[in-house]
């Protein structure tokens, strides 16, 4: 019995050992991970390459700091004294704004409302120099003004083509926001919309660029700059009813106005005698216009050129002399390309029917 018991015990031990050996040799064994050093090196190189490419792409897209340093050399701070007439004596108020140097001999563009009624204008350059400035010309219709200081060899801004802008393009502003000391303030954002019409107390502003880059008090007259360091707009208005909505006069509108102000001290434009807005699908559906592009007439001056040409509120102007006018950004430059006294042929839709009329242009006061 003792020999059989020991033999049985030995057999169990041998069976156990055999089982363990079988498991150890099995292909389902749990092995520690094997690290392939060559694979790690290769993957690391690929990831670093991708990261470098992303950084390069980002830098090419918008190198903000470098552009700011370059553009701000041509941005100036403007402070003004404004005389307010009282019943018994006058008051002097202070105001501030921003301007841009557009010629190396001292011409500066800013907003009309910045220097309007100013009795004294001071300009501070980015290098700390200060000058007195004189008004060269004013244009209330675009809220633009040109002033001049007696200086030479100045850094100047470069205008870009605002007509190439698309919603979503990166932009930044530089300005004397809130009149804070320590240099200009920089804000960054995108183009939120183009070809906007903005109503102000001085009248409607057309072909405006909408941006979410912050435009605060004191930024007026400063540049809206694209990713190439080119000025594509002049900051002019903030919509007080909402946050993140500011507007700039497009460079397409501003440049001929600036040239006229420097050359003649004013802008002479023909007058058609109406106000209007872009005819959109929403407006077309609301008023059952029968057309979704053109200039929707919202006001006609009594006894003015448009009134004499039988245009009325609710009509939609679609062309001048056969040239299409789908929006205000096409209509106004075309209209302003004519001289006072010219007669134009206007194609329009009235009560869903097409008409043609001739209008002789007056001079805008």
Residue 143 designated active-site: yes
Strands 223-225 and 170-175: antiparallel
Residue of 74, 79, 96, 113 marked catalytic: 113
Burial class for 119, CB neighbours closer than 10 Å (0-12, 13-18, 19+): exposed
Rounded to an integer, what distance in angstroms lies between the CA atom of residue 274 and that of residue 287?
19
Reduce the DSSP state of residue 4 to 3 states and report it: helix
Residue of 220, 250, 260, 284 marked catalytic: 220
Residue of 126, 139, 143, 192 marked catalytic: 143
CA dihedral 11, 13, 17, 19 (to 10 degrees): 70
Q: What are 198's strand-pairing partners? A: 205
Question: DSSP secondary-structure letter at 163?
Answer: G
Residue 362 designated active-site: no
Give the closest residue to 99 by CA, choosing from 72, 65, 120, 127.
Answer: 72
* Contact call for residues 11 and 3 (beta carbons, < 8 A): no
Half-sphere exposure of 336 (CA within 13 A, CB side): 17
Question: DSSP secondary-structure letter at 32?
Answer: P
Residue 299 designated active-site: no
Residue the block writes with tokens 């059989």: 4
Measured in degrees and rounded to the nearest 5, phi and psi for residue 302 equal -60, 130
Number of Cβ within a 10 Å radius of residue 197: 17
Q: Which residues contact 119 (CB under 8 A, 6 or more apart)?
A: 80, 81, 82, 83, 92
Q: What are 316's strand-pairing partners? A: 296, 349
Rounded to an integer, what distance in angstroms lies between the CA atom of residue 158 and that of residue 22?
82
Q: What is the DSSP string of 333-354?
A: HHHHTSPTT-EEEEEEEETTEE
Catalytic residue ranges: 113, 143, 220
């Amino acid at each position: 019995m003792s020999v059989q018991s020991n033999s049985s015990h030995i057999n169990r031990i041998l069976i156990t050992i055999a089982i363990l050996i079988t498991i150890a040799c099995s292909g389902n064994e749990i092995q520690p991970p094997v690290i392939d050093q060559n694979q790690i090196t290769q993957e690391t190189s690929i990831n670093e390459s991708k990261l470098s490419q992303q950084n390069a792409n980002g830098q090419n897209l918008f190198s903000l700091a470098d552009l700011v340093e370059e553009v701000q050399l041509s941005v100036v701070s403007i402070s003004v004294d404004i005389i307010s007439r009282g019943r018994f004596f006058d008051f002097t108020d202070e105001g501030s704004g921003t301007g841009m140097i557009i010629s190396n001999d001292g011409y500066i563009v800013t907003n009309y409302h910045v220097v309007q009624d100013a009795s004294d204008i001071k300009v501070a350059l980015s290098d700390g120099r200060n000058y007195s400035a004189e008004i060269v010309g004013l244009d209330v219709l675009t809220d633009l003004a040109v002033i001049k200081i007696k200086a030479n060899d100045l850094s100047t801004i470069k205008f870009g083509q605002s007509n190439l802008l698309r919603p979503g393009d990166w932009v930044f502003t530089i300005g004397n926001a809130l009149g804070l000391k320590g240099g200009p303030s920089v804000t960054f954002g995108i183009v939120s919309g183009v070809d906007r019409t903005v109503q102000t107390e001085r009248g409607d502003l057309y072909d405006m660029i909408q941006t979410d880059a912050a435009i605060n008090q004191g930024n007026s007259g400063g540049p809206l700059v694209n990713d190439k360091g080119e000025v594509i707009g002049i900051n002019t208005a903030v919509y007080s009813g909402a946050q993140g909505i500011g507007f700039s006069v497009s460079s397409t509108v501003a440049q001929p106005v600036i040239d006229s102000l420097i050359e003649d001290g004013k802008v002479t434009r023909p007058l058609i005698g109406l106000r209007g807005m872009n005819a959109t699908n929403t407006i077309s559906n609301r008023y059952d216009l029968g057309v979704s592009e053109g200039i929707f007439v919202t006001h006609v001056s009594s006894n003015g050129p448009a009134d004499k040409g039988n245009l009325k509120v609710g009509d939609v102007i679609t062309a001048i002399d056969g040239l299409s006018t789908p929006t205000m950004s096409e209509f106004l430059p075309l209209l302003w390309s004519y001289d006072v006294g010219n007669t134009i042929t206007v194609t329009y839709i009235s009560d869903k029917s097409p008409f043609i009329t001739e209008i002789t242009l007056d001079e805008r006061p």
